[in-house]
Chains A and B, each alone.
Chain A
Amino acid sequence: MSPLLRAARAPGSGLARRLEEIVGSAHVREDAGALLTFSTDATPLERGDPDCVVFPATTEEVAEVLTVANERRIPVVPRGSGTNLSGGTVPHHGGIVLVLTRMNALKEVSSDDLVAVCEPGVRTIELAQAAAAERMLFPPDPGSQTTATLGGNVAECSGGLRALKYGITRDYVLGVEAVLATGEVVRTGGRLVKDVAGYDLSRLLCGSEGTLAVMTELTLRLLPAPEASGTGMAYFPDLADAARAVSRVLASGVLPVTLEFLDQVCIGTVEDYARIGLDTAAGALLIFGQDGDQRSIDADLARMAGACEAEGATQVRIAGSPAEASEVLEARRAALPSLSRLEPLTLLEDATVPRSRIAEMVEYIQEVARRHELKIGTFGHAGDGNLHPTVVLDPADAGAVRRAHVAFAEIFARAIDLGGTITGEHGVGMVKLKYMERQHGPEYLALLRRIKAAFDPNGILNPGKLGS
């Protein structure tokens, strides 16, 4: 390290000096460059300026940092790898960014109790691989699983591609150790499937977006790994045709592990990145999959292929090998970032509707795009009604940015009217806070505030977001 940088990194403020006493001088940064890199996450257009960044290594250090921050009423924004898509880890009110990636011990993977115990900085893929090595499955698999941390996944209650069959992160959180804003350490739940001693605070913390407590240890449920899996693909003239095929698949008595779709815009950009031979002339692609024993996989894939053909699929194929299947699924995971090949700004939302209404919603999004003259690529988890309409545009075109925001307001309103939600898996964060009242009403929001106050009386944890 250059002497110049050492000087820049040295704490100037009393706060940083106090934090250095807790975590060590190598683990506090307040140089302008570092602060800048922690001012954003993966959310476009959102930025906040932190005062310092702290990297604790233990629960005790987290507790001490929070005690100091609480005494001084300094905002604290917990952060993992920063793949948040709703501005949830952007420090809009400044203060301390509390980065938990040093707490990355995978403490236990138990096939006897079917649980894993880990610190919040373990990446999702690391747990999935460790579980797979012991022939177990950790089902939640968000698109960012190679980068994202489990702490972040639990805080945001992430979904993924397997949610239809296996549920989402909240269905796999058994226990949490967390530090309250006031510095006390609490443990909720544990290793048990059945445990009703008290309120289900683990579930409350799951999806709390860093506004209630800082999670420092997670006990997660695992499943025995399925014997095998299989994947198929069907092309359609239009996304609405694919959506109708989804309804037909689900009505046919199959509960698939995967049911993902991409419209033509997304097929083009994904193919441009992954080069796996997708048919870029097709209007939509539906990826369907099943896991379990080979006989039921074959039967279910055949039934799903039949449902697709009945809804006018132009081409249906079953992947010949696990490698081919994983190629397709990996490409699907890259759908969002691939869209930025079209324009530098990608505004993504995740409005979700009951799956019976998905074709309606898809057609409405297409209409909104036409009306506002926007380029919208839509992909998503078709089986669970979770759509990702993504506007691609040039950030310099202020008119288009404005129209995009109006378009999203309309899409959210329609999602709510159809019995859906403004966010299926990305979280409310900063971006969707203003739609909360429309979805939930004022009484619900008042209750959220009272819960928040019980956990965090001085409102230091991720202020300006849920419960504020």
Chain B
Amino acid sequence: MTSPPVGERRGIFTPELLDRCISCGFCLPACPTYGLTGEETSSPRGRINLMRAIETGQLAVDDPTVVEESSFCLGCRACEPVCPAGVQYGALLEEWRDELWRPERRPWRLRALLWAVDARARVRLMGVARRHAKGAGEGAEPASLMLGCFERALYPRVSRSARELDPSLAAPPAQGCCGALHAHNGELERGNALARELGEALPGTIVTTSGGCSAHLASVLGPERVKELSQWLAGRGSTVDEPATGARPRIGFQDSCHARNGLGVGKEPRELIATVGEYVELPSAAACCGAAGTYAILRPEDSARVLDRHLDEIADADLDVLAVANPGCYRQLQQGIKRRRLRTKVLHLAELLADADRIVSHRSA
């Protein structure tokens, strides 16, 4: 049976979510890990069959293949837009990890990360000594800029650039983490609670510079409340800096998986980039770069294998700039490009647009 008889379920998964898949296999070519192994077991359809097996008790919850596949999955949700049946794979994965990644089974690196972002004070501490954006908004309708947790420490210029682009955004430093890390790593309840806390702390529309955060916040607070930066800018018809004179820079883009697959954001960043340079669509622009939240930290080797194809394409396209829309992608691509010694500069979309007047092509003829 593709679906277990009612009444014999363990209750790990919401039945309506798990029953949706009809195993047509349309998801296989979209899945980066299926691309790596070519094995059904590491495809979305295969993983849903594993979920069904633990739901009915056909396999143990801690079966080694089940455990391995729950963590091998990037959680990029590339399988969702190609699914004609409308399976919400991301939601299923959250429920799966919620059951599987109990605190005692959690890797120590993950425990440390979750601890760091679990309290507003600690998140705020990460931003101390870094010049991220601060200040009250100037707009008539309240809108707030989410500063993020790791982003405010690692890439404080991103929030400053976002506020340069739209000074109407308020940026109170007393805001915590959105909870996406928790939700994607086996703490669904806590992840949802953190999102609700943030929703209370930030007035009006919440604008984020991180695709992963925006999709999680939208799933908890509703899509009307939350806008990913490019959505926000495109919706307001904001103008960006006059581009520099001289050779137009060649600019590629790495989609944020959750912005694209969760919120349907894809057109907006590309149109914005085309206003400041020559936009180059990389063949894998829409595919996961391997950062995938905590994935690059928990599974560095697989993460690097996923990244390789992207680096090849960036090198072939001889880009001046690769724009990103998520701090995880930022770090992943910056490190990959450094390792390969490519000339391409990685910038967040906000930085690119705010500094457009200073970016020119350095392409050798």
Contact = CB atoms under 8 A, between A and B. Distances in A.
Q: Do A and B come from one complex?
A: yes
Interface of A: 1-2, 4-5, 7-9, 29, 31-34, 36-42, 44-45, 47, 55, 81-83, 99, 101-102, 123, 125, 144, 146-148, 272-273, 334, 336-338, 340-341, 344-346, 395-396
B65 A337 contact: no
B25 A123 contact: no
A47 B3 CA distance: 11
A47 B63 CA distance: 20
Contact of B49 (A29, A36, A45): A36
B65 A32 contact: yes
B322 interface: no
B64 A2 contact: yes
A36 B53 contact: yes
Interface string B28-41: 11000000001111
Nearest to B15: A344
B24 A395 contact: no
Nearest to A274: B84
A412 to B, nearest CB: 22
11 contacts: A4-B64, A29-B39, A34-B41, A34-B65, A36-B53, A36-B58, A40-B23, A146-B26, A341-B85, A345-B2, A345-B22
B67 A344 contact: no
Given A2-B64, A42-B23, 13 more contacts: A34-B41, A37-B41, A38-B40, A41-B25, A44-B22, A55-B38, A83-B24, A101-B38, A144-B25, A272-B86, A336-B84, A338-B85, A344-B3
B22 A33 contact: no
Contact of B1 (A2, A45, A82, A102): A45
A100 B2 CA distance: 24
B65 A31 contact: yes
A5 B65 contact: yes
B67 A5 contact: yes
B29 A146 contact: yes
Contacts of B63: 8, 32-33
Contacts of A395: 1-3, 5, 19
Contacts of B165: none
A1 B33 CA distance: 13
B68 A2 contact: yes
Given A83-B24, A337-B85, A33 B2 contact: no
Contact of A37 (B20, B49, B67, B84): B49
Interface in B38-88: 38-41, 43, 45-46, 49-50, 53, 58-59, 63-69, 83-86
A42 B38 contact: no
Interface residues of B, number: 38
Contacts of A39: 49
Given A334-B84, A344-B19, A395-B1, A2 B67 contact: yes
Contact of B46 (A7, A37, A55, A147): A37
B6 interface: yes
Contacts of A37: 40-41, 43, 45-46, 49-50
Nearest to B301: A1
A42 B86 contact: no
A83 B86 CA distance: 18
A327 to B, nearest CB: 14
Which 8 interchain pairs have the tightest Cβ spacing? A33-B65, A337-B84, A344-B19, A334-B84, A37-B46, A8-B64, A340-B85, A4-B64
Contact of B86 (A7, A44, A341): A341
A423 B22 CA distance: 20
B50 A1 contact: no
Interface of B: 1-3, 5-6, 19-26, 28-29, 38-41, 43, 45-46, 49-50, 53, 58-59, 63-69, 83-86
A396 B6 contact: yes
B158 to A, nearest CB: 33
A33 B49 CA distance: 9
B86 to A, nearest CB: 6
Contacts of B67: 2, 4-5
A273 B84 contact: yes
Given A8-B65, A36-B50, A42 B84 contact: no
A29 B68 contact: no
A338 B82 CA distance: 11
Contact of B68 (A5, A273, A344): A5
A229 to B, nearest CB: 23
B269 to A, nearest CB: 21
Contact of A34 (B1, B23, B39): B39
Contacts of A148: 25
B25 A83 contact: yes
A31 B64 contact: yes
Given A36-B58, A336-B24, A123 B65 contact: no
B29 A147 contact: yes
B64 A7 contact: yes
Contacts of A1: 68
Given A81-B25, A341-B85, A33 B50 contact: yes
A282 B63 CA distance: 50
Contacts of A337: 22, 24, 26, 83-85
B25 A82 contact: yes
B2 A44 contact: yes
Contact of A40 (B2, B5, B26, B58): B2
B25 A42 contact: yes
Contacts of A36: 49-50, 53, 58-59
A341 B85 CA distance: 6
Contacts of B38: 55, 101-102
Nearest to A34: B41
A102 B86 CA distance: 29
B24 A33 contact: no
B58 to A, nearest CB: 7
Contacts of B43: 37
Given A344-B19, A344-B20, A395-B3, A33 B25 contact: no
A196 to B, nearest CB: 38
A272 to B, nearest CB: 8
Contacts of B53: 33, 36
Nearest to B60: A32
Contacts of B45: 37, 82
A41 B25 CA distance: 8
B22 A340 contact: yes
A125 B28 CA distance: 13
B40 A82 contact: yes
A4 B66 CA distance: 11
A172 B86 CA distance: 34
B165 to A, nearest CB: 31
